[in-house]
Amino acid sequence: MTLVRRPRVQGVLSQVRLALFAALLLAVGPIWGADRIASGGAEQPRLRARDLGIVVGRYQPGPLNAITDVAGVKVGQVTLIRGQGSLKPGEVPVRTGVTVVIPREDVWRKKVPAGAFVLNGTGEMTGLAWVAESGFLEYPIALTSTLNVPRVANGVMSWMITRYPDIGISDDTLTPVVAECDDSRLNDSQGRHVSEQDVATALNGAASGAVAEGSVGAGTGMVSYGFKGGIGTASRRLSDDDGGYTVGALVNANQGRREELMVAGVPVGRLYEREGAPLGSAPPAPTDREEGASLAGGEGSIIVIIATDAPLDARQLGRLAKRAALGLARTGSTARHGSGDFMLAFSTGNIIPHYPKARTFVMTHLADTHLNPLLSATVEATEEAVLNALTMASTMVGRDDRRVEAISLPRLMALLAKGR
């Protein structure tokens, strides 16, 4: 197994320039444009980790630094935000959504090899039993909130049946992969507000370009390390000597406790707490349910989707999925008792045909002795995706006027400059 380097701040900004950049953020922050989406006020523009000078690992990102750098992969999202004030169960406030990942066009007939890993199972990713048994994935992946899982699964099935009308008649049935995180700290979860039409909209609008991050789609109501969390993505492209393959990660970050957060090897969470709250805030006051979960050791969940164009089989993809857990650990998570941490990896490097007529078919297989660069790239992309979820998320005000602050970028940069 390849030794993983400790992340560091390098390249774009030196330590001196990092300190100057932090000072500049502090100075100009109040006059920058406002982001008022359910934030209750003006907020500084959000930036990705790499744009802040936080460079993770040694491999270079793809052009988009996103899971969509893997050719053929598409991402679609629907964000639902409406209502404010006191919780009215089944009605408002709504702070939720859905995010979908389509591995390739016509994935039902051109299946992709896939493998999964469950770091801690306090949660759900439906369909994993069939992925483990078959070794492939044959439909889009959907991410959403916990109580929305059945409706989102129905939405995926309806969308698939529209495109493949023989499903369940003369063709096979399907068990969609739907992964959940709990957004009830900000959202009226009992309302199960994501509809089948919302799922269809996300799937029909899925694109291969840049991916929106932070408080969007399934990440709308998520909280990570005591800050506003949500969707994050990143990628790595190997050198031609290592095969030139691309690895992309997409996360829905809803995990961790503030004191655990590590950024570029700096214990940002502990330092953030130690220096008080003028530029940030303490985590939201927990509900009775969360108090109980806290006593039981609960701390939220994370979903990690890994895509690659390297020609890997299901066993090897399971190994990549395990390495995603190392990327998560580098941000400070310890996958506590109450955490749901699910990793799913797939490869577009081979096609598994739909009920082939021939007795055999051929797949290209990367030798395990050439797997190490992909393992390291998976760790790096996952870590950076989690950081992007944090730095791109916007402050959110949700149910009962509960406010979850986005991590302060000026303070983050100041702590990194000081911590290095």
What confidence score (pLDDT) does residue 275 get?
A: 72
Domain locations along the chain: 15-419
DSSP letters spanning 282-344 = PPPPPPHHHHHHHHTT--EEEEEEEEE-S---HHHHHHHHHHHHHHHHTTT----TT-EEEEE
Domain 15-419 has CATH 1.20.120.430: no
In sequence order, the β-bridge partners of residue 60 are: 237
What confidence score (pLDDT) does residue 18 get?
A: 53
What confidence score (pLDDT) does residue 232 get?
A: 98
pLDDT digits (tens, 9 = 90+) for 357-405: 999 999 999 999 999 999 999 999 999 999 999 999 999 999 999 999 9
Per-residue pLDDT of the chain (420 residues; tens, 9 = 90+): 333 333 444 444 445 445 545 554 444 343 333 334 466 655 679 999 999 999 999 999 999 999 999 999 999 999 999 999 999 999 999 999 999 999 999 999 999 999 999 999 999 999 999 999 999 999 999 999 999 999 999 999 999 999 999 999 999 999 999 999 999 999 999 999 999 999 999 999 999 999 999 999 999 999 999 999 999 999 999 999 999 999 999 999 999 999 999 999 999 999 998 875 443 444 444 444 444 333 333 468 999 999 999 999 999 999 999 999 999 999 999 998 889 999 999 999 999 999 999 999 999 999 999 999 999 999 999 999 999 999 999 999 999 999 999 999 999 999 999 876
How many angstroms separate the CA atoms of 42 and 340, rounded?
33
Give CA separation, 201 vs 10, 141, 196, 360, in Å.
40, 14, 9, 38
What confidence score (pLDDT) does residue 420 get?
A: 65
What confidence score (pLDDT) does residue 336 get?
A: 87
Catalytic residue numbers, as ranges: 301, 339, 341
Look up residue 236 and give its two tokens: 């790595």
pTM higher than 0.85, yes or no? yes
Tell me if the bond preceding 103 is cis, omega within 30° of 0.
no
pLDDT digits (tens, 9 = 90+) for 243-265: 999 999 999 999 999 999 999 99
Residues whose CB falls within 8 Å of the CB of residue 360, separated by 6 or more in sequence, listed in order: none
SS3 (DSSP) at 52: helix
What confidence score (pLDDT) does residue 280 get?
A: 41
Residue 203 amino acid letter: L
Residues whose CB falls within 8 Å of the CB of residue 292, separated by 6 or more in sequence, listed in order: none
